[in-house]
């Protein structure tokens, strides 16, 4: 029987209601039953996520928010009686976001939905300027005209209504016409960019050198009211992302020579190169302390929202699983580690650094479970090209209640992941590291790297399912009498492309922001 978690605004957030029992335990293992009971009767997922996402907030690599989150995680583990520490793996450019206020002032007044990109310079008080659009040709001759203006560098979407809405309501011919016109418009815009002779990475710097007071972008994520917000390339003037709707408004005004004027007050503070950390927690093994079961999730996020499903949910899943294990399984056979990684969004830097700095742990790794693609329940586990892993997962999953495992398919033997999330920092060395892949929940459109990745997007029953799965897998892996072999599939093919796959090479982390290529 399932019940939803209940959150009461303005009151203490309660644990999950009691009295919930699994319908099917394949074994009588008392620890598995205790894990289930603890998760349902005393679950801490909601208060953990609320504190992390609402109070600490987003955790941009190197930012004060990221460091505050590290300290919060260590304090939380220690409160549970779990030794924890922050391990420095390098330094990064530290940046503090302040307010972003963007207004259309002429030909009418409207407050626009917009925010600075990460690591953008701010303004020194309000800065007002006209608006310019990239020309179709003659970029160098046009360039002096941008002085004192905000320059629009993104394609203006002809509709901010998602395709699913068009498909449901429009006549088929109308839908197809819109799609063709949009594709043609995007191609024409791409030609404008090409005509500048610059890449999208270099163009903003050239505009600020020419005297532009800011750069306006809009990276629509093809859903209602949602944009992806990454990092700025300007060094002296702000780069601002406007919502699809408001970017289109300002663009049409400029295109039709209706003389839009925009005012921006954007605050940002650069704090220099600062230490960056992974948070590590540990329950020491009693019989095989030099063999490891590891729980893995990246702790950093982009910061246009709260970093809820990327990867706050993965973080609290691993923390909750560790809390439960500390309570019901305090003397594991193998050492249980949690790695909450920094710098994943800049190239898996935290986990790659940990793997590089801790060859003894990589060598002793029995299994690593990583979760990083949203709020959905786990539905797929690839064996990552390890030929012996399937037998272990078959045995482990066979002991876990069907309420959890019925959703899960295993990909045997699978192929090793070369990137994408932190398990790749370990599987490249042949260590048994596995990605717990989740149900979509429109992750790519609505929450992955967007301005809508917030607490309210979490599906609590699915997240609780994942915490139970991780806790149970970790317990079973710790107890397993044999160690998972590292035999590799020698002939591998990408099932989507049909191309041969080779084992990925381990990459060195960027230890400073100056080493970053992103």
CATH at residue 76: 3.40.630.10
**367 CB contacts (<8 Å, ≥6 apart)?**
293, 294, 392, 432, 433, 434, 473, 477, 484
The distance in angstroms from the start CA to the end CA of the chain is 47
- Same domain membership, residue 288 and residue 254: no
Q: What is the pLDDT of residue 516?
A: 80
- Helices 460-479/389-397 angle, 10° precision: 120
Least-confidence region, from 6-10, 102-106, 398-402:
6-10
- Pair (266, 164) in one structural domain: yes
Domain assignment present for residue 278? The answer is no
- Residue 90 falls inside a structural domain: no
pLDDT range class, residue 20, cuts 50, 70, 90: low
What percent of the chain clears pLDDT 70, i.e. is strictly above it?
95
Q: Up-side HSE of residue 85: CA atoms within 13 Å toward CB?
A: 7
Rounded (5°) CA angle 143-144-145: 90
Residue range 318-351, pLDDT digits in tens: 999 999 999 999 999 999 999 999 999 999 999 9
Is the pLDDT confidence value at 229 over 70?
Answer: yes
pLDDT band at 495 (very low <50, low <70, confident <90, very high): confident
Residue 164 and residue 263 in one domain:
yes
Give the number of other Cβ atoms within 10 Å of residue 408's Cβ. 17
Cis bond before residue 110 (omega within 30° of 0): no
Residue 395 lies in a domain: yes
The set of residues, in sequence order, having a beta carbon less than 8 Å from that of 42 and lying 6+ positions away, is 15
pLDDT at residue number 369: 98
Whether 329 and 201 map to the same domain: the answer is no
Tell me the mean pLDDT in the region 399-412: 96
332 is a domain residue: yes
Residue that finishes a domain, picked among 226, 245, 271: 271
* 279 in any annotated domain: no
Tell me the two tokens of residue 5.
């978690």
The pLDDT of residue 425 is above 50? yes
Is the pLDDT at 17 greater than 60, yes or no?
no
Tell me: pLDDT of 273 over 70.
yes
Q: Are residues 295 and 334 in the same domain?
A: yes
Packing angle, helices 30-41 and 313-328, rounded to 10: 130
Q: Is the pLDDT of residue 79 over 90?
A: yes
- C-alpha 313/C-alpha 210 separation (Å) is 43
Q: What is the pLDDT of residue 353?
A: 98
- Considering the domain architecture, whether residues 255 and 291 belong to the same structural domain is answered as no
Residue that finishes a domain, picked among 217, 245, 271: 271
Domain CATH number, residue 124: 3.50.30.30
- Mean pLDDT computed over every residue of the chain: 94
Judged by average pLDDT, the poorest of 5-9, 48-52, 382-386 is: 5-9
Q: What is the 3-state secondary structure (H, E, C) of 148-207?
A: CEEEECCCCCCCCCCHHHHHHHCCHHHHHHHHHHHHHHHHHHHHHHHHCCCCCCCHHHHH
Has residue 22 been placed in a domain?
A: no
Domain boundary among 271, 302, 333: 271
Going by pLDDT thresholds of 50, 70 and 90, the confidence category of residue 21 is: low
- Residue 492: its pLDDT value, please? 87
Same domain, 352 and 481: yes
* pLDDT (average), residues 22-32: 89
How many residues would you count in the chain? 518
Alpha-carbon gap, residue 316 to 44, rounded angstroms: 9
Output the pLDDT for position 400.
97
Do residue 238 and residue 374 come from a single domain? no
Radius of gyration of the chain (CA): 25
- Sequence-ordered alpha helix ranges (H) in 348-503: 349-357, 359-364, 389-397, 402-405, 424-427, 460-479
pLDDT, one tens digit per residue, over 276-290 is 999 999 999 999 999
My answer on whether 104 and 65 are in the same domain is no
Q: From CA 401, how far away is CA 419, in angstroms rounded?
A: 31
Range of the domain at 192: 95-271
pLDDT above 50 for 222: yes
Residue 76: inside a domain = yes
Same domain, 338 and 257: no
5 assigned to some structural domain: no
Give the count of domains, the chain: 2
Q: What is the dihedral of CA 109, 113, 115, 121, to 10 degrees?
A: -10
* pLDDT exceeds cutoff 90 at 24: no
Same domain, 34 and 182: no
Same domain, 50 and 124: no
Mean pLDDT for 452-477 is: 98
């Amino acid at each position: 029987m399932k019940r939803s978690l209940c959150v009461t605004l303005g009151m203490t957030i309660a644990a999950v209601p009691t009295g919930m029992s699994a319908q099917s335990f394949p074994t009588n293992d008392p620890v598995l039953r205790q894990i289930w009971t603890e998760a349902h009767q005393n679950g801490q997922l909601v208060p953990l996520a609320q504190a992390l996402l609402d109070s600490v907030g987003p955790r941009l690599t190197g930012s004060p928010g990221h460091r505050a989150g590290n300290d919060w995680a260590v304090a939380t583990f220690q409160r549970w009686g779990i030794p924890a520490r922050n391990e420095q793996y390098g330094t990064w450019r530290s940046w503090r976001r302040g307010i972003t206020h963007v207004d259309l002032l002429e030909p009418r007044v409207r407050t626009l939905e917009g925010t600075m990109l990460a690591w953008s310079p701010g303004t020194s008080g309000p800065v007002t300027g006209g608006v310019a659009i990239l020309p179709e040709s003659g970029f160098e001759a046009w360039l002096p005209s941008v002085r004192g203006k905000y320059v629009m560098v993104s394609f203006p979407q002809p509709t901010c209504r998602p395709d699913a809405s068009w498909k449901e309501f429009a006549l088929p011919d109308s839908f197809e016409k819109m799609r063709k016109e949009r594709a043609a418009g995007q191609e024409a815009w791409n030609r404008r960019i090409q005509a500048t002779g610059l890449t999208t990475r270099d163009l903003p710097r050239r505009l600020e050198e020419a005297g532009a007071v800011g750069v306006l972008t809009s990276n629509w994520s093809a859903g209602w009211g949602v944009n992806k917000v990454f990092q700025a390339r300007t060094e002296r003037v702000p780069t601002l992302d406007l919502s699809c709707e408001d970017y289109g408004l300002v663009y049409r005004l400029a295109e039709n020579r209706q003389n839009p004027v925009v005012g921006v007050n954007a605050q940002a503070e650069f704090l220099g190169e600062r230490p960056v950390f992974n948070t590590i927690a540990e329950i020491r093994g009693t019989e095989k302390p030099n063999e490891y079961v590891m729980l893995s999730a990246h702790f950093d996020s982009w910061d246009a929202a709260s970093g809820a499903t990327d990867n706050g949910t993965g973080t609290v899943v691993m923390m909750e699983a560790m809390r439960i294990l500390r309570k019901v399984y305090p003397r594991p056979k193998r050492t249980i580690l949690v790695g909450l990684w920094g710098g994943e969004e800049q190239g898996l830097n935290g986990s790659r650094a940990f793997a590089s700095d801790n060859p003894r742990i990589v060598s002793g790794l029995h299994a690593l479970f990583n979760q990083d693609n949203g709020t959905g329940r786990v539905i797929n586990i690839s064996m990552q090209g390890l030929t012996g892993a399937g037998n272990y997962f078959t045995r482990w999953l066979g002991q876990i209640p069907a309420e959890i495992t019925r959703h899960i398919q295993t990909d045997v033997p699978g192929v090793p992941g070369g990137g994408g999330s932190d398990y790749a920092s370990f599987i490249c060395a042949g260590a048994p590291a596995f990605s717990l892949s989740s149900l979509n929940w429109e992750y790519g459109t609505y929450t992955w790297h967007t301005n809508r990745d917030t607490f309210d997007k979490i599906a609590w029953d699915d997240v609780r399912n994942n915490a139970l799965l991780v806790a149970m897998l970790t317990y079973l892996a710790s107890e397993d009498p044999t160690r998972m072999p590292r035999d590799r599939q020698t002939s591998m093919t990408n099932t989507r492309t049909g191309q041969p796959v080779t084992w990925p090479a381990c990459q060195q982390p960027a230890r400073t922001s100056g080493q970053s290529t992103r």
